[in-house]
Amino acid sequence: MRTQGAGVHRGILPDGSAAWAVTGYEAVKGLLNDARLSVVKAKSRNGYAGAHLPPALDANLLNMDGEEHRRLRKLAAEAFAPRHHRTQEAIVAETVAELVADLPAAGEIDLMGELCEPLPARVIGAVLGLPREQLGAFRDASALVLRVDSSPDEQDTRKAMVTLMGLVAGVIADKRRTPGDDLLSAWIATRDGQDKLTEDELMSLAFLTIVAGIENVISLTALVLDDVVRNQQHRAREILGEPVEFTKFIKQLIHENSPVNYALRRFPTTDLEVNGVTIPRGHTVFLSVRSAHLDPDSAGKADLGFGYGPHYCIGARLAELQVQHAVRAVLQHYPHLRVTGAREDYRLRLSWQTYALAELRMVAA
């Protein structure tokens, strides 16, 4: 698609509305940072209504632009400031260590079910400040809410949403009385002059952290683990004891294995010309992050896997830490590790937005 014509392609969505896919590194990067493309679904002229979330959850950073987005993002980013890094990394390291310690000593191991899937849910729950005894319920509810197949049972999903947000609301109330060293406590305390987060904003930020911080991290961790064991194992083991080199190595693999196919849908606020093609105002636009990464012109340039511009993921560092610690711990735990077949033989998760493995089985000795 990137090499055909202008690299800008018109298609039709299942609801019959027009959509456009933009490919190529420079076009995608430029449009990720272009104020003429809005993430606000009200800008759609095709009737896009989003995920039908409750109002308190719908008003989140992924559905805001401009000054409203800048204000909330500035307040939200405080919880990911450097002074919180040590605590958050300690949570990641402890969670990874516990999960890896429970893996079988040898033989076939299920790295998806036993490590990649539980890791981000437990990390996000702990980072938000959920009590340890609630993390199991948090993981179960978030797994249902974040199902990527096309026909989940709506009643089950609604129940899971109620459970999930009930857990978070209870913790917010507890943190108001007894603050801790966690995201929710930091957000409750955050102020910019007299400006502070409202109750709905706290809830929407917690919801967004769950949505953005679990499913993509599962996919990213699995893809990087597979790549390391399949293609990079010798190099990875050589530098296990060199933290700086190992971090650089994993960051490069994160770039190469980004699971994101398309960025969040966007809507032009005016007729928009891209590579000589005019995209009408209000039409749905999908920016192909995977195409950008596969473009030879991307070599040595900014990674787009966590976004670019005003919607760059504020939790990117937390995601990277989970991948780094997971890979290091697995390699340290298993002196000998091999894959069982071609990557193309793995089952995939049913998702068009991400390239995500549904299984990750290896043999250890």
- Domain limits, the chain: 8-364
Catalogue the E-assigned strands of the chain: 8-12, 18-22, 37-38, 107-110, 191-192, 195-196, 267-268, 272-274, 277-279, 284-287, 337-339, 361-364
Q: State the Cα–Cα distance between residues 274 and 89, nearest whole angstrom.
A: 41
Q: What is the pLDDT of residue 212?
A: 84
Residue 226's Cβ-count burial label (10 Å; 0-12, 13-18, 19+) is buried
- Residue of 56, 14, 34 whose CA lies nearest to 287: 34
Q: What is the mean pLDDT of residues 316-335?
A: 97
Q: What is the pLDDT of residue 152?
A: 53
Q: State the Cα–Cα distance between residues 31 and 274, nearest whole angstrom.
A: 9
Q: For residue 28, give the amino acid letter.
A: V
Rounded alpha-carbon distances, angstroms, from residue 251 to 59, 93, 191, 325, 327: 32, 17, 33, 12, 12
> Half-sphere exposure of 179 toward its Cβ, with a 13 Å CA cutoff?
9
308 alpha-carbon distance from chain centroid? 14
DSSP string, 95-142: HHHHHHHTS-SSEEEEHIIIIITHHHHHHHHHHHT--GGGHHHHHHHH
Q: State the Cα–Cα distance between residues 123 and 183, nearest whole angstrom.
A: 12
Least confident of 111-120, 194-203, 235-244: 194-203
Tell me yes or no: is domain 8-364 CATH 1.10.10.60: no
- CB 259, CB 289: distance < 8 Å: no
∠ Cα 141 97 131 (to 5°): 40
Mean predicted lDDT score pLDDT of the chain:
90
Helix 118-128 crosses helix 199-227 at what angle (to 10 degrees)?
150
The strand pairing partners of 348, in sequence order, are 357
Q: What is the pLDDT of residue 153?
A: 63
Percent of the residues in the chain that have a pLDDT greater than 70, as a whole number: 97
pLDDT-derived band of residue 352, with 50, 70 and 90 as boundaries?
confident
Q: State the Cα–Cα distance between residues 138 and 134, nearest whole angstrom.
A: 6
Q: What is the pLDDT of residues 121-173, one digit of tens each?
A: 999 999 999 888 888 888 787 777 766 554 556 677 778 888 888 888 898 99
294 alpha-carbon distance from chain centroid? 20
Answer yes or no: is pLDDT of 49 > 80. no
Q: What is the pLDDT of residues 101-126, one digit of tens each?
A: 999 999 999 999 999 999 999 999 99
* Whether the model pTM is above 0.85: yes
Q: What is the mean pLDDT of residues 279-301?
A: 94
Q: What is the pLDDT of residue 6?
A: 96
Least confident of 161-165, 177-181, 184-188, 243-247: 161-165
Reduced to 3 states (helix: H, G, I; strand: E, B; else coil), residue 269 is coil
Q: What is the pLDDT of residues 207-236, one digit of tens each?
A: 888 888 888 999 999 999 999 999 999 999
